[in-house]
Structure 1
């Protein structure tokens, strides 16, 4: 590796920079990141698939095989929505988190003062 590459990597993993970035995020200086983002995403996708089903149902009146078209449109909307909902809920509250070996955990405790791994007991 060249010296410039090593400096870039050191800057990337600089714990002071990470703390400053986290503080900026907490204060909302890097963008509008409210806790309502999950509700907005949930509502937007729900409304999209609901509109898809309703519009598809209404468009089916123009065709002779309206029963088949309604069935296909509504089944498509329900299946796609359920697939998205399961994925969304699994990411919202994961059952299994990332795993690290002891050296990585010790490095996090040593170099990141505001890490989630600390010597205080969890509530």
Structure 2
């Protein structure tokens, strides 16, 4: 159970650090723009990662193989299926 819980927490913590903590260290005449860029980058990258991660957890589309394809693959892999 911890294996499925750990990656989202770790990645969320990394992007939270970049989006919340790092903007406080921005310096220079364009401080506001740098802060905004850091926060937007963190939010967009985290959201993109989350969408990709969740899509891989439970894919909606699986392979659609014809019967002949399945028989050929099984034969090539050494698990010949007897037709009958």
TM-score normalised by the chain length of structure 2: 0.74
Q: 1:64 to 1:48 in 2, by over 3 A?
A: same
Q: Secondary structure at the match of 2:46?
A: helix
Runs of 4+ in 1 over 6 A off after TM superposition: none
Q: Are 1:55 and 2:21 matched, yes or no?
A: yes
Aligned to 2:40: 75
Q: Could you tell me how far 1:38 is from its partner in structure 2?
A: 2.2
Aligned to 1:45: 11
Figure out how many residues of one structure are paired with residues of the other and give that number.
75
CA offsets, 1:48-79, max 9 Å, x none? 0001112321112x322211011100010011
Q: In 1, Cα distance between the equivalents of 2:55 and 2:40?
A: 22
Q: Could you tell me how far 1:92 is from its partner in structure 2?
A: 0.8
TM-score normalised by the chain length of structure 1: 0.53
Unaligned runs of 5+ in 1: 1-34, 112-123
Q: How do 1:1-123 and structure 2 match up within 5 A? A: 35-60=1-26, 62-103=27-68, 104=70, 107=74, 111=79
* Bigger RCO of structures 1 and 2 (CA < 8 A, at least 6 apart): 2
Unaligned runs of 5+ in 2: 80-84
